[in-house]
Amino acid sequence: MKLHVISRDEVRQAVSMGQAIETVRAAFEQLSQGRAHVPIRTQLGVPLHDGVTLFMPAYLEQTDELGMKMVSVFSGNIEQGLPTINAMVILVDAETGLPTAIIDGTYLTALRTGAASGAATDLLARADASSVAVLGTGVQGRTQLQAVCTVRSIEKVFVFDKRDAVAEAFRDDMADVVSAEIEIASTAARAVRGADIVCTATTSKTPVFSDADIAPGAHVNAIGSFTPQMQELPSETVERCLLVVDSREAVWAESGDLIVPRDQGRISEESVHAEIGEIIAGTKEGRTSDDQVTVFKAVGNAVQDVSVGARVLEEAKKKNLGTIVEL
């Protein structure tokens, strides 16, 4: 049995953010049209080490792509100088069931998550959006900004992180990736006020900004909360926005951003306007006015990992990237 092993750097070389956005759009459309089979992911908590490992399989029927991601989120890794998120994607031949590739999933996770927000921003943000706030400046924050800058002409970026040194490293690193001016904000409120687009990429258990900070017509990508105990968004914002999600089933099972305001009686499950795949397919409309606040709430879906993983494998073969291992 031969496996194609693809490293983190090779994933970066294989697929651009623009290609990832294109791939994720098609995957979300399959998901919302019932052409993808995605069990709710299994979460295995490791409370002794403040961590959780998730197992996320998917089969995309239309493109005949099969695989699974295993991802660990360990908050304590920051103190050890290690990445908070570590992951691996395994691809399987859908016809034979034989494994075909093992791909480093840490950067792929950030890439596909950014790509989802890029697709949502393209569909939901105002066409003239030119400023963005990024709350949380880890690996996810980087690809959030990269994706937004791929689909909109961004001139100004406001970033906030509780750790000043991390925010400064983000500013310095991203200055070589995007052309926009990057400013470190002293508070989350200052970052969010006036921003046309807001990206939240934290592990917070309490809202990271106030509803009053959101400007009329802003678009929010909220990607940090993936357990019922985590909440980045104020309940007031969720209550009044046009709410779009990656998967209805998944967000109601997993995200405190929606579960908390539902349990408070502020919203119901019918408050979700659409899945992003429905807007991509044209079966639901997106923004209806320039002053409407739109929110894309994503917990991450295995169709993203498997579809982008398959695209990585395809491009890696074309570019002679990766290592063939005989098992």
Q: Which residues 6+ apart lie within 8 Å of 172 measured at CB?
A: none
Catalytic-residue membership of 156? no
Instruction: Name residue 312's amino acid.
Output: V
Q: Which residues 6+ apart lie within 8 Å of 191 measured at CB?
A: 133, 134, 135, 158, 159, 160, 185, 209
Instruction: Check if the beta carbon of residue 54 is closer than 8 Å to that of residue 44.
Output: yes
pLDDT > 90: percent of the chain? 89
pLDDT tier at 85 (50, 70, 90 boundaries)? confident
CATH hierarchy code of domain 2-108+303-326:
3.30.1780.10
pLDDT tier at 73 (50, 70, 90 boundaries)? confident
What mean pLDDT do residues 46-50 have? 93
pLDDT > 70: percent of the chain? 100
Instruction: Check if the beta carbon of residue 220 is closer than 8 Å to that of residue 298.
Output: no
- Which one of 3.40.50.720, 3.90.1170.50, 3.40.50.2300, 3.40.50.970 gives the CATH number of domain 126-299? 3.40.50.720
Tokens 């399987």 map to which residue? Answer: 92
Does the pLDDT value for residue 43 go beyond 90? no
Instruction: Name residue 35's amino acid.
Output: R
pLDDT tier at 9 (50, 70, 90 boundaries)? very high
Q: How many CA atoms lie within 13 A of 158 on its CB side?
A: 18
- Going from N- to C-terminal start, the domains of the chain cover 2-108+303-326, 126-299
* Confidence at residue 290, expressed as pLDDT on a 0 to 100 scale: 96
- Alpha helices of 208-301 — where are they, by DSSP H? 235-240, 248-254, 256-263, 276-281
76/224 Cα distance (integer angstroms): 16
Please state the φ and ψ torsions of residue 165, each to the nearest 5 degrees: -65, -35
pTM for the whole thing? 0.92
Q: Find how far residue 23's CA is from the centre of its chain.
A: 14
How is residue 301 written in tokens? 């879906």
What mean pLDDT do residues 296-311 have? 97
Q: Are strands 99-104 and 65-74 parallel, antiparallel or unpaired?
A: unpaired
pLDDT tier at 227 (50, 70, 90 boundaries)? confident
Does the pLDDT value for residue 93 go beyond 90? yes
| Given 69, 156, 297, 317, the catalytic residue | 69
Domains 2-108+303-326 and 126-299 share a fold: no
pLDDT digits (tens, 9 = 90+) for 267-277: 999 999 999 99
* Confidence at residue 84, expressed as pLDDT on a 0 to 100 scale: 83
pLDDT digits (tens, 9 = 90+) for 143-194: 999 999 999 999 999 999 988 899 999 999 999 999 999 999 999 999 999 8
Residue among 317, 281, 310 nearest 59 (CA): 310
